[in-house]
Amino acid sequence: MSYHVVDMTDPSELQPVLHSKHAKNLLRFLHLLPARMSSHDNTRSTIVFFAVCGLDVLNSLHLISPQLRKDIIDWTYGGLVVPRENEKRRGGFMGCRAMLPQTEDAELLECMRQYQWGHLAMTYTSIAVLVTLGDDLSRLNRQSIVEGVAAVQHADGSFSASIDGSENDMRFVYCAATICHMLDCWDGVNKEAMFQFIMRSLRYDYGFSQELEGESHGGTTFCALAALELSGQLHRLDETTVERIKRWLVFRQMDGFQGRPNKPVDTCYSFWIGAALRILNGFELTDYAQNREYILSTQDELIGGFAKWPKSTPDPFHTYLGLCGLAFIGEPGLSAVMPSLNISMAAYVHLNQLHERWRANSSGLTHDLTQLKLSVGSSAEAATKTTSSSPLISAQ
């Protein structure tokens, strides 16, 4: 394998990335969900995440009109579960609105309330969407959301997705770390136990598995390394371990990347493996040209978007992660991506500005709690409150 970068000086020899088609494709998912994807309705927040963040990486957020942007922000906040006094463990975002019937029937509303709680993946993607759209997160009670994260941590350090019970594995360790990092609050979360769970999942071949005694996996290895970085614990890996993990990751490249040995390559692993190597500063060990060629082989030239394999149906998940994979190799016209949070660097800069603001106000959490008390019982008023002051979207 030759290790050389894409020669960007002669773009005529390269298959072009169809930026405007990808933007149009992603924009469409912000208006409707095709019937073939109706089973994804309960995780609609993730589709909004892929579409909004994909438009961001394409430098095309300006295609989202001010009204649509406000609608997306309001819709996202609409999934926020604000716990009552006796519901402390429920904080977070829901992925869909099926448990929020449009009715005045108090008895029915109270009944549905029993089924409303945050889900870690939906909370992560919802906050990421808000940050990417330039919202200032002032409608959030950060502490109540992190209480919801702490509530689903297990004694072995892993996390479930929600309080009603689910698998507990590295995916939700990652989501927990993203939420706490983005909200700049780890209260009640046992970072040491989380670290121990991650390290117990490091396998003999130096990939990470989803849970104890599992098989090493590219997506899981990204989740493990990103969680370590976001929780400020990446430095606890010794140099030999880091080099061996890099080796496992680099060996996942065929032309594109595979998730496990002896598995076919797939566009999304250009992100999972690429981002993991970015976190370990080892991405330059990969073959950029072959990576690009594979991703481009899955590009739909008619309707835009990327699929997992050539000649397959594109979807928002592989479209976004394919774009991120291209951003890692410096594809012109794409914005830089922050690997461990999986949002653009522009969004990450905005997030850091929010952190500085929160830290400057040492009583920030107390202030948030006051806000929460004010907003309980007046959710309609909260829904119309404008909290966005986007530095990211240029005027139409």
| Interacting residues with Zn ion (CB under 5 A) | 266, 268, 308
Alpha carbon 304 to its chain centroid, in Å, reads 22
Q: Which is nearer to Zn ion, 147 or 266 (CB)?
A: 266
Q: How far is CA 298 from the centre of its chain?
A: 22
What is the distance in angstroms between the CA of the first residue and the CA of the last residue of the chain? 47
* CA distances (Å), origin 97, targets 10, 103, 228, 255, 292: 48, 13, 32, 41, 38
Do 255 and 2 meet the contact criterion of CB atoms below 8 Å apart?
A: no
For Zn ion, the closer of residues 137 and 268 by Cβ is: 268
Looking at the Cβ atoms of 36 and 235, the one nearer to Zn ion is 36
> What is the closest distance, in whole angstroms, from the C-beta atom of residue 269 to Zn ion in the complex?
7
> What gap in Å lies between CA 269 and CA 265, rounded to an integer?
7
Min. distance of Cβ 208 from Zn ion in angstroms? 18
* CA dihedral (332, 337, 342, 343) positive or negative: negative
Q: Give the nearest distance from C-beta 312 to Zn ion in angstroms.
A: 10
- CA atoms within a 13 Å half-sphere pointing along the CA-CB vector of 385: 17
- The CB-of-308 to Zn ion minimum distance in angstroms stands at 4
Which residue, 140, 141, 142, 150, is CA-closest to 89? 150
92 pairs with which residues across the strands?
Answer: 81
Residue 160 or 270 with smaller CB distance to Zn ion:
270
CB of 366 to Zn ion, least distance (A): 44
* Residue with the CB atom nearest Zn ion in the bound state: 268
Residue 175: CB minimum distance to Zn ion, A: 18
Nearer to Zn ion, 310 or 377 (CB): 310
Question: Is the Cβ of residue 181 or residue 308 nearer to Zn ion in the bound state?
Answer: 308
Write the DSSP string, 173-223: HHHHHHHHHHHT--TT--HHHHHHHHHHTB-TTS-BBSSTT--B-HHHHHH
